Each structure stands twice: as C-alpha cells, then as structure tokens.
Structure 1
Amino acid sequence: MALIPGYEYDIFISYVHADNESETFEEEGWIDQFYKYLDTKLNKHSKNIKIWWDSNNLDRSEVFDNSIAEAIDKSAIMICLYSRLYPQSEYCKKELDHFYKKVTKEKVGLTVGNRSRIIPVFMSNIPHTDWLDKLTGTSGFPFHDNDDYGDPLKNTSPEFSTQMIQLRNALVRIFDDFSKEITPVEEQKILPKEEKKDNDFTIFMAEVNDSLIDRRDGIIADLKEKGYKIITGDPSTSDAETHDSLTKEAIDQSQFSVHILGNFPGRKISGETEARYIQRQTEIGLESATPQLIWVSRGTDFNKTENKEYQQFLRGLENATLSSKKYEFVRGNEGELAMLIDDYAKQVQQAHLQKISEQKNSKGAPIKVLLDTHTDDFKQAFNLKKILNDYNVDLIFNPEDGDPQENIKSLYSNISEAKKFIFLYGNETHKDWVDIRVKNTLKKLMDYDRYGQDIFIYVTPPEKDMESIKVAQNPMVKLVDHSHNAPIDQSILEAFLNDLKAENL
C-alpha cells in the first residue's frame, strides 16, 4: 500500500524515454537521476511513499500498454516530465489523458485542496502557449537553466537541489490534503469509536524562573494541543522533603523530562537557606532513569550569573561533569523550543517502541542498516546501496549535505531504527564531515545504552591513508577499504556482508 489510502502508488512519473538518454554515455540518464533524488527526498518524509515509473527504458509501441493503464489507475498523483518531446509523444499524451479522465471520475477529483494532482516538471523553457490542454491551470516546477531554450539542470547544481526541495514540499502538502479528504474503509472497520484520545506520552515540565514562566506556559499549551500529557514541577512552596518526594514521583511517572534554565536560579525551597527549586528538580531528574532535556537560551552568558553556586551548576551541566547518567544539553532559540521538545519526545517514543519491537521479533529477523553519505558521494553511495539490496540487507538510505551538525536531526531519527551503521567516505574534503557524523552516532548510541553495535566507514576512491581516519580508532568502528580504483575485492565484500548480517547485538 502507498502512503495515500486507497492507492497502490502515490506518484506515477510520465516521461519520454528519449529524454533519459545520456549525452556522455558515462553517466546515468537525467530522468534516472531525477527519480533517485526524488525518491530519496520523499523517503525522508515517509518510508511508505511509492513511486511508479517505467525504469526499463524500452521503446514503447503505439499501442497503449494495459500494464501502464493499470499503474495509472492505481496512482494518486501524476508527475509529467515535460520536455519539448513530451507533446510530440502519442504515448505520453495517452498517459496524461488516461490519468485526467480517471481522476475527474474519482470522488476527490482533479484537485486536492487547491492543488492539482497533475504536476508538470519542465525540463526545458516551454511557453504556456505550448502546454497541452490537460495542464491548463497547473503550476509547474522549472528544472531547466535560464537560457531562452533551457537545458535540464545538472543534479549537482544548487538550482536542482532548490527545485527538488520545492517539489518535495508541494507533494507533501498534497499528501496531507489527501489524508483530510479520504478515510479508508479498512480504518473504519478496525478503529473503535473511542480510538481518538490523548497521547499517553507524559512530559514533566520542571520549575522555571519568573522571566521564563510565560514561555513555559505557551510551550505547555502547544504540547497539549499535540496530545501530550503534561506534569508541571510547580513547587507550591512545599518543604524540601515533600518537594523531593513529589518531584521524584512526577518524573518517574513521565516518559520525558524538560528543564528550561536561565541566568537566574529562581525561588529558594521553603525552609532552606540556599537550595532552590529549579536546581533541585534538575538534580532529581539526573538521578532518574527518565530521559532528560536541559535547555538554555543560545545567548545565555554564564559569566553574568551572579549566584556562583548556580553558575557552577550550569557550567557543570554544559560540560557533562555532573552525572554519569545520560541527558541532552541544548543551547537554542526560544522560538524553536516547542518544536525541539516535540522532536526529542518523538525520539524517546521511537526508542521505546524499538525496544518493544526487539522483544517481539524473532532472533532471525533482518537487521536494519543505516547508510549515511554526503550528497557529493551520492553516486558511489547508490552503487553500494544496489550491492547491499542484492544481498537482501534491510537498508535505510540517508544522503545529506551542508553542516553535519545542522542536519543531525535526520541522522538521530534513523539511529533509533537502525542496528548497524555505514558511513561512506569518498570525497577527501569530507573527512571532517564523516568524523562528526560518526562521533554523533557514537554519542547517541551511548545515550541509548546501546554498546557493541557495529559502525562501518566504507572508504571509496580516491585512494586514502587509513591511518589518517582517527575516529576509526574507536573499537566500535570498522574500516572497509574500497579506495583503490579496482573493483572491490570479493573477499573484502564477503567479510563486510558477514559483519553486517552477524547478530552480535
């Protein structure tokens, strides 16, 4: 089943096969590359998204293939890769016409919300007057350069990446609009009437100083709207013993604990000369098994904290010297705090569900493997992906670019699902990028108390000095050297695959 209920495929790609011919014969065709990038982008939104396209690149006859018609009938959205050859192709015009007639008969119709289910992607600069009639009223995505003629964008160009993100975003909005308009029959049968209820996930929101109360209350309102149950750490002027007991009980009842800290230490505990509610609630949280998020505004300067004991406490938290327990210390922007808490709560939920799933799964179940790579090494990573798929490795493919710290969220979300990890190191300028990604993975695995899990650095050409990869000195990290120009040695490949499939967790 596809992501959109009632369909086998979310997207049908219509294109002229001649547009997929490589001009250099040394690289894949443009449409092959377009499909792979789109599929990768959408898989980061949902693993359930299904795309149909004719990948065989065979010349079609003028007779409209029944299998093509059947695929169109089972698809929710059509992407037309519109080139100068597209309106000349009788086959493509039949595909577009068949989809148009199909959707106009469906209950949802041609548009979902205010968006057309036919999406043109322009491979050349084609005037509106030359569009086929079925595309009237649609807004397309220009995947061509700015010349009067317009050649297809190179997939390595920033413009290609920008257009791909915009296309992905438009598709995601259509998916969301579909979910509002369609209730699948299967769900109506399975879900009981009382199924819609608050999320059972409970978050403990600790005491804050007076300057942060409004911010915390706003975040609590946002989280409640998302279905979370909230327990607050308001002290109600209780004495130290009562406060400690109530706080411990509240944190133990929660699945996640949040502490929002600032320069001011807040109120003193009733009957105490120095102890304060904010610091004590944080200390109790550190002593518990409940995952903790400790947040400080990005602009907070500890040097301006007048209370020296509290200043030392804050520095100890940031430097991770106060507790052997695991917690996340984050400096961030206030406007993003509610989203950050929601993201971390979902990670905690995922980790919990993962443990339950592991207990239920049989010992021989396939092990999920994460393949993480910089987009500059996409081609080599995709070749490795094909090899692993041929050997039935259950793979999560995660190409990224930019600052390895800024896009760490997708890596962290995949860590909870994967059991083993491959980081592809190809372009020599990305050694530090790989180093940071591996170190962040090691840290997150330790946060989850997941020791002894394999991390591989798969090294591809050009040839490299293995001793220069310092992070590989960690006993959890293994090097697979494929940096020579020759095809990978079969014995190295077999040893690599055996390590991937070995159940040593």
Structure 2
Amino acid sequence: MAFEIDVVIAFADRDNETASKNELGWVSQFKKFLELMLTQVLGEKPRIMLKGEFDSMVSPKMDNTAVLVSILSKDFIQSGQCLDHVETFYKVLESAPKNRNRVFKVFKTPLNLQQQPPRLRDLLGYEMYQLDPDSGEIREYTDYFSTEAERQYWMKMVDLAYDIYETLLFLRDTSSQSEVRSIYKRKTIYLAETGHDLSVQRNIIKRELQRHGYSVLPNQTLPGNASELERLVRRDLEECNLSIHLIGSAYGEIPEGADRSVVDLQNKFASEKSIKAKENKQEFTRLIWISPNMTHASERQKSFIDNIKRDVEAQEGAEILQTPLEDFKNIMREELLEAGEKKIIDSNTGRTIYLIHDKIDLVAIKPIVDLLEKSGFKVLLPSFEGELLALRQQHIDNLRSLDAAIIYKGKVNEQWVRMKALDLLKAPGFGRKKPIVAKAIVANTGSNLNVESFRSQNLRVIEGDEQRSIESLKSFLQEFNA
C-alpha cells in the first residue's frame, strides 16, 4: 500500500520552543536526526511531517500516513489536541489490516504507566532524555554528540529508526517485503526486562539479536499489575526456547499486588518453564548474567542474587555467569552458534582495516587503499550495489571483524562522519569479540571538523592534502603495528 506520508510526528508545541529563532527546537532536532537515520537505511529520503497541537492537517491526511510517532511529555498528555491526534490515527487503523504496529511512543521526559494515554500504554517506549544513574536526575540533551548522548539518545534513535524502517518495509508492497519476513522468521528469544542500571546493556544485546534475525520478547511494555504481568510473561516464554536475564545492582520495580520485582518474577517464571520443559523433554535454556560490580546493590538485591546462586530449583536449566559483560556476550553468541542460528566471523589476524567511505569518494580513496595493501593489511571496503538489507549486513559484518578503522571524509559532511563514528562506538552491540585497536579519520585540508570531539572518542584526526595525509597515515600504521 502506498502512503503520501511515511511518518507523522505528533507533539505539544511547548516541547519545540527555543530561546532563539536561529535554534532548532527539541522536536525539530529529533525530526532531523530521525530523517537522517531513516534515509540511511531506506536508501531514500523519507516523507516526515511535524504535527503540532493546532496543526490544520486533519483526518484525510492521517488516512495517508504510514506511521505515527508521539512525543510524550507532561505537556503532551495535558493537551486535548495532542490526544485527539492519537485518537484520529487509531480510528484510521481500525479499518486497516491488523498486521503490524504503526504507532511509536518517544519519551521526551519520564512518565509512569498511569500518566500515559491508555491507547499507548502497551507500546514499547523509546526514552530520549538524559538519566544520571547515580543521582536519578533527569535532563534534556543539549549536546547531542556527548559521550552520554551516544550511549543513550543515539542508541534509542537507532532502535526507533530500524523499527520504523521494518514497519515501512512491511507496509510497502515490494519484493523486499518477503525477504525481510524470511530473515526475521527465526528463533524467538525472551530477553528479560532489567533494572534501570542495565537498560543500556539490555538494549545493546536486544539490537544485536534483532540484527541477526531473532524475534525478541517481550515486545510490549510489561503491565504494572502482578496477575497481568504473570499472564503476559508466561505467554511469551511459551514461544521461546531460550531466555536471557541480566541481573545488576537495581532490584527493579515491584508490580501492584506482588512482593517481588519484575526482574525477580521473570526469573521465577523462566525457572518454572525450565522444570516443565525438562519433564516434557522439551528444549529450554536460560542464560543468567550477574554483574561482577555490586557496589550499590541493596540488601534485597543481594539476597535475590544469593538465592539464584544457591537454589537448585532456581538454577534449573540455567547457566549462571558472573563475568565481565563482554565475556557473557561471547558465551551468549556461542550458545546461539551451537543452535545453528548464526555465524561468528573469525577475526584473529590483527591485520584488518575497515576503510569507511561514501560512494561519492570512491576514486579519492584509491591512494589510501594502495598504501594499506602495500603495508600488508587486509582492507575491508563498504559496498554500494545490491539490496539495502544485504549492504547494511555487510557493514555490520565489517564492524565485527575489523581490527582498526579509518573513516574517510572527502565530499561528505561532518554529520555523516559522526554517524560512522557512532557505528564504531556501537560495534560491541553488533558482536565484536575484542576491542578496536586503532581508529582514525582522514580529511582534506580545511574540513572544519570538530577535532576535539572526535579525540574524546579516541579517534585520531589526520588532515591535509593527499601527500600529507599519506605521510601521516604511515605514522598511524607504524603505531598500529607496534
């Protein structure tokens, strides 16, 4: 089915206000970044429209909209007009085939379940605010390229972009739709919800599983009521033959009507599923990771962890590890490999460099490729021909297998460079088994790159004309070899 508009972003006007007319408001910045990421994965610029409270775009326009993104905040939930926009879109969906979620909720500020519009409560949310895990302080991002933003804001943005992308592919009547379905029709894994201290780590693992074609449950917000939560978790576990549990310092929220946290209850139900599976000679495995750093754990959390380690029943069908998270992820990958579900790239050569560049700079990078190959390195290059999904997968495979990376900035803008630098930061989430040894950006003279911000990401910036860049690269390669 063809739509006039790919994405409508509904928001409260106050959430897009700025101190200066020359600045972009929070929602406008969000639209800009989402558009950028969707352009990368779709291979074309998406049609995205903003819809404020008093926007004149009425129902007929909503009829031709593929996806609605609601920017949730206190102003949004207090605005009758914003809630009307959500209702209008849901009325459109009532007459549409119920084949895939087309509504996404983004949190500009935290809202508990009861504060959220009833229509949106069951949807998974994308938190786009800054949370200090120690103090619990909430702040809006002002520097979108800070280390904290790269860990939280951008990871959520990547997830949102890919989820919207999959929905758009599903809705478009193209041949690639069946390809996507076959890729994602694989093993289903239960990735248990965690305490707030491990939300980023859970997100990385979730994204890695999804990129390799696994369905990940739960795929909706867990209910705040104990009986509903039990029904939903048990139902989801029935669809899985593997569950993954990440246990950190935070005990987690206790649902209404329960005396145990959501984290604790999920582990309990999975343990019961293990016992039942064993009796019925069915396959069901659990991987439980316990953080080795428990400095801020409460007495209740320590007791919960001791019980997991001590209780034979709680250990049924489980492999329990208290190792660095990267080691746990390697074991998780091995578990999936044994099931014949995925292939891990062997990258022990120590001599592989991924030269990341845009198609527009294909000719300009040839001297660099020659230098790298003459220096004895295996050079990985991006591809630009073929199906978009296959190209993205090749990029991810390169990120997993490289030893060093060079980003080439020729005719592209700084935003493009930042996106590629962000991919390098996210490489562990794609399945890397070891650190990246060295990273550099090669740019022409006068590129006006913000050198300091890249240095903070351990990226060496090499600027100059072709001859000077080649000489500086030789020095970089000697240090790499050393």
TM-score class, shorter: 0.3 to 0.5
Q: Which has the larger radius of gyration?
A: 1
Query: Larger RCO: Structure 1 or Structure 2 (Cα < 8 Å, ≥ 6 residues apart)?
Result: 2
TM-score after normalising by structure 1: 0.39
TM-score after normalising by structure 2: 0.40
